[in-house]
Amino acid sequence: MQVVQAVRARRSIRDYEDRPVPEDKLVRVLEAGCISPSARNSQDREFVVVRDGEQRRQLARAAEHQRHLAVAPVVIAGVGTKPEYHMPNGVPAHPVDLAIALDHMTLVAVEEGLGTCWIGGFNQEIAKSVLAVPDRYVIVALLTLGFPKTIPEARPRKAFDDIISHDRFRQ
């Protein structure tokens, strides 16, 4: 599959088949996150792979009962292990680095015939407790992973010319 095909095919999947993700597919998805770039190549991140049903149900409660967290056979938590570091431009590095890593994972998942859904709406303290993440770290996002039961249609996107400017910001 071409990368652009995976980008166009990727959807937020919220309905999963009741079957496990084969280990080889899971490893390829996780490897995509591991080899993704990071600020200063620091790789200040950890991925917590959650397959245990009770833990997934607890994460769903931490995310205001987003059912797909409990239904997906795998949830991957992207954890920033150096949240105090800011890039020279003043932006914290950990959310950027983990966004890149998790996006790489979503694209490999598409290639593997899997679906994902990126979840940022969750209670940090509850999720940390469920996953035993130390207070000094930050869970940036949760990513569900599994075989899609249904694949939704593409959602509308703004027109190219409405979001691209040249040489200077136009708004």
pLDDT at 171 over 80: no
**Confidence band, pLDDT 50/70/90 cuts, at residue 89:** very high
pLDDT at position 65:
76
Answer yes or no: are the C-beta atoms of 103 and 139 closer than 8 Å.
no
Q: What is the pLDDT of residues 118-165, one digit of tens each?
A: 999 999 999 999 999 999 999 999 999 999 999 999 999 999 999 999
Which residues of the chain form beta strands (DSSP E)? Answer: 45-50, 74-80, 115-119, 138-146
What's the pLDDT tens digit per position in 51-71?
Answer: 999 999 999 999 987 899 999
CA distance 30 to 167: 37
Q: What is the CATH number of domain 3-163?
A: 3.40.109.10
**Distance of CA 139 to CAs 31, 77, 79, 93, 120, Å?**
19, 7, 4, 13, 9
Domain segments of the chain as ranges: 3-163
pTM of the complete model: 0.96
